[in-house]
Copies of this chain bind each other. A is one copy, B any other.
Amino acid sequence: MRNDGRGRDELRPVHFELNYVKHPEGSVLISVGETKVICNASVEDRVPPFMRGSGKGWITAEYSMLPRATEQRNIRESTKGKVTGRTMEIQRLISRSLRAVMDLEKLGERTIWIDCDVIQADGGTRTASITGAFVAMVLAVAKLHQDNKISAFPITNFLAATSVGIDPEYAEILDLNYIEDSRTNVDMNIIMTDLGKFVELQGTGEESTFSREQLNTLLELGEKGINELIHLQKKALGEYIELIERREE
């Protein structure tokens, strides 16, 4: 049994609190175990310069941590005067992933701004951000739909993300918490749709390597976790699911 009593293929408890903050078009507080992220989706009626006139929309994500989301206080990036490489990498990952399930033409010349602010961190903040941001984005787009600003619902699939890794004691495990993340040498982020297709796969052997067989085990664990996460997203979204399901007609 793992340090928090879970089996190798078990997710931590996951909760979505919808409409957590009042101003954004979509707002969700996601908890994955002790990791808590406020995911806000905002709609802006224009796109970045390189997209203007294309008739297509865009999704941009920003990610940040409160200084005391972690055990040790971190220096704010605004105080440093620059965004770190790690933050930029996560921001690019979140926005790229969400774009994979958005029909940008149906969205029209609009930007969806995704803000993921980690208020408490215990491992897996980037995958929790993606899983929560997807729900916030559905809320924001549903609002556009209700207001008749878009005719066809542009989100094509459910999308969730989780991490897997190779623990020195328990071998392949699902959904790493902070302690586990610190002791595994191989960890992988898997982002998948409800049709079981990969959107992103990032496996890293930090000062280590992994074999094809290990990769296969990791992918199976990941797929199991994603299915459970999407099940929970659907439960949280309730009536909104129907909007997305319509894509299959």
Could you list which residues of chain A lie within 8 angstroms of chain B, going by C-beta atoms? 21-24, 27, 34, 38, 40, 42, 44, 62, 64, 66-71, 73, 76-89, 91-92, 96, 99-100, 104, 113, 115, 117, 119-120, 188, 193, 195-212, 215, 219
Residues of B within 8 A of A196 (CB): 211-212
Smallest distance from the beta carbon of A17 to chain B beta carbons, Å? Answer: 12
Interface SS of chain A: mixed
A169 CA to B130 CA in the complex, in Å?
31
**A208 contacts B100, CB within 8 Å?**
yes
Copy count, this protein chain: 6
Smallest Cβ-Cβ distance to A36: which chain B residue: B21
Smallest distance from the beta carbon of A219 to chain B beta carbons, Å? Answer: 7
> Provided the pairs A78-B77, A193-B209 are in contact, do residues A68 and B198 lie with their beta carbons within 8 angstroms?
no
Smallest distance from the beta carbon of A77 to chain B beta carbons, Å? Answer: 4
A70 CA to B201 CA in the complex, in Å?
28
Smallest distance from the beta carbon of A139 to chain B beta carbons, Å? Answer: 13
Most buried by B among A23, A80, A92: A23
A208 CA to B208 CA in the complex, in Å?
30
**B212 contacts A204, CB within 8 Å?**
no
